[in-house]
A and B are shown apart, each in its own frame.
Chain A
Amino acid sequence: MSRNLLLIIPLILFLSSAGPTIASAEDETPDFSVFENPNITSRPSRSQSKTEAEPPCITCGQEHPKTKNQKALEAITKKTKSVDSCITCDRVLLSKNKTKKKATKENAWDQYPQIAGYSNSAAVNAMIKYAERHAFRHSRGICYRNVKDALCRAPRGSRCKGPLVSKYMNGTPVFPELPSRQRTRIGKNAILNMKSEGFINLLDKPEFIEIIKNPASAPKGAIMVYQGGKNGGHIEIKTGYGTTGSYVSDFSAPDSIMRNKLAGRASAHYKLVGVMIKPAENI
C-alpha cells in the first residue's frame, strides 16, 4: 500500500505542475477582444499579402520583355507597311470587257462536214477542257508545251494514243528555224509536226482563206499558229465559234494574241500562219 502511495503522489505532483489546467465554463468568461471575427475582417489586400515582404519588383513599372510571338507579329506588320499595294490582285483583263464587241457565232463552217465534225467531236471538246483547266492568267512562255499536252491527253487517259495525235510531238519553240531568244531549238516547226499527225492547214486551201479573215473567223478547236514575237512564235487553241470563245495556250485570253490592241506592241508582231484542224474522217 505504501509502495502504491509512493508511486501515485509523484504522479499527481507532476500532473499538477506541468499539465494544462482544464478550465470549466464556470471558471471565467473568455476575452473575445483578442480574436478577430473572420466574417467581419476583410481579406488582406495583395499589397498586404505575403509578397509584401519580398523585394520590390524591378521591371513591373517598365515595359515587359516581348515574347517571340509579339516580335514576329511586329516584324510582319512592319514588313506589310513597307511593301507596295497589290497591282495585279483581282484585276480582270480590261480587253475582256471594254474592247470586245458583241459576241458573234459564225456558222460558216457548218457547210463543211469534215471541219464541223472535227469541231464538234468529243476529242476536241476534251482537248479544249484540258487546255482551259491548265491555263494560267498570264503567260509562262510554255504555250507550245501546253498545247502539245492538251492534244496528247484528249480524250482523258489516252496518253498520246488518242484520236488527235499518236505520239508526243517533239520540237521547241513553235518555229525553231526562225530567230528567237530561245537557246534550245530542236525538231520541226509546229505546222510540220501537226501535218505529220494528219492535221491540215486551212490557210493552205484557197477556198478557206476568204473565210478566215482574222483569228475570230477560224473554226472551234482549231490550233492557231503564229509567227513573230521574241520567243519564236506562238500557238493557241480556239475554244468557240466566232467571238464566243477564248484562246487558250499556257494562258487564256478573250482575244487572240494578235488582236489584243490594249497590249500595244506586245501583240503587234504576230502573224497568223496556221489554222490547223484534223479532218473528221481521221479522228
Chain B
Amino acid sequence: MKLHRLLFIISSLFTFSAYAAEFKSVDEAAKKLSAYTVADIDGDAKRLKENQELKIDQMFNDLEKTEKFLRKNNLTEDLAHEMERVSLITFIHDPTTFAIDLILPVYQKNRIIFEKAAQKLHPYDRNLLMEILKSKDKAETDNG
C-alpha cells in the first residue's frame, strides 16, 4: 500500500514538473504545438465523459507557455503559424476564443510575422483568425 502511495506521489511530481516546465527553444515550442490535430479536439467529448484531462486544456497551457517563452525570445514564422493553427483548433469547442487572449501579446509585438504566417492557413481560417485578432486588439484600447 505504501509503495503504491510512493509511486503515486513520484508520478504526480513528474507530471507537475512536466506541466510547469517552460520551453527552452523555439523549435521545441513549435514541435510541441505541431503535434496537435483536429482529431485531438474531437476526442475531448469522450475524455470529458471519462473525467480525463482535456486536450483543449493542454493546448491552452502550451500556448500560454509559448507566450511566456516569447517574452524573452524572438518569434519565428513557423512558430507563429503553429500558434495560429492550434488557436484555430481550439475554436472548434471554444466560441469565446480564449486562445486569442493568450497569444494576443505576441501578436501585438509581431504583427507582420503573424500576418505572413497566416498566409499558410486556409483562406477561411486566415480571415477568421485575423479578424478576431484585430478585433480583440482593438477592443483592448477602444471605449466600447
Contacts and interface: CB of A to CB of B under 8 A. Distances in A.
Q: Please classify the interface of chain B as helix (H, G, I), strand (E, B), loop, or mixed, using the class held by over half of its residues.
A: helix
Given A87-B92, A137-B95, A144 B125 contact: no
Contact of B120 (A84, A95, A186, A231): A84
Nearest to A261: B48
B128 to A, nearest CB: 6
Given A137-B95, A141-B139, A183-B141, A264 B122 contact: no
A172 B141 CA distance: 10
B49 to A, nearest CB: 9
Contacts of A84: 85, 120-122, 125
A88 B88 contact: yes
B85 to A, nearest CB: 7
A80 to B, nearest CB: 9
Interface string B85-121: 1001111111111111100100000000000000111
Given A86-B125, A99-B48, A263 B96 contact: yes
Contacts, number: 140
Nearest to B60: A265
Given A94-B92, A266-B56, 5 more contacts: A88-B88, A139-B132, A141-B139, A264-B60, A266-B96
Interface of B: 38, 42, 44-45, 48, 54, 56-57, 60, 85, 88-101, 104, 119-125, 128, 131-132, 135-136, 139-144
Interface of A: 82-89, 91, 93-95, 98-99, 137-142, 144-145, 148, 172, 181-184, 186, 229-231, 234, 251-253, 257, 260-267
